[in-house]
Amino acid sequence: MNVAFLVAPKGVEQVELTEPWQAVKDAGGTPRLVSTKAGRIQAYSHLDKADTFPVDQTVADASVDEYDGLVLPGGVANPDFLRLDEKAVSFVKGFFDAGKPVAAICHAPWTLVEADVVRGRVLTSWPSVRTDIRNAGGTWVDEQVHVCEQGSNVLVTSRKPGDLEAFDKTFVAEFAKAAAS
């Protein structure tokens, strides 16, 4: 199971990157860090700088065909930077067009809104994103983790770092099912 983690050069919430990353590795998968720029990304613990991580591939060089699924970690700034990058938004939309599973946590659904893939879907997020989801035609629910299946598309969403255990377990299971089919 090859999984892309799409992250902006700065602003990702570290725990929302590292814990899902480890869950993919624990399941025998291969996580890869995809970003809008080469080099290293700067993670944060809320508003404080945390660790940096090496980028495996730029979004300009990445192809949806290389991956079985996509994880969008949150952080307030991360999805805001991503939704301003046309290639990042196209990469996200490509997973939906290809019928591949996507997982997003916290503020990450902002990128989904920009990719215009929320309409008709039910998802959760950090509460401040709910109006954006509703305005984009989605239905927001306040749940620890929510799985929305729409045709061959599976979208797994969670609200916050406190939901990571349920988020990781759920998205890894959904990605494994999709990779096996």
What's at 163, amino acid-wise?
A: D
Q: Which of 32, 83, 100, 107 is catalytic?
A: 107
Measured in whole angstroms, the distance separating CA 43 from the mean position of its chain's CA atoms is 15
Distance CA 87, CA 118 (A): 18
Token output for 32: 């890869």
Closest CA to 118 of 126, 55, 102, 84: 102
Token output for 78: 């991360």
| Catalytic annotation present for 107 | yes
Distance CA 145, CA 104 (A): 10
Q: Provide the annotated active-site residues.
A: 107
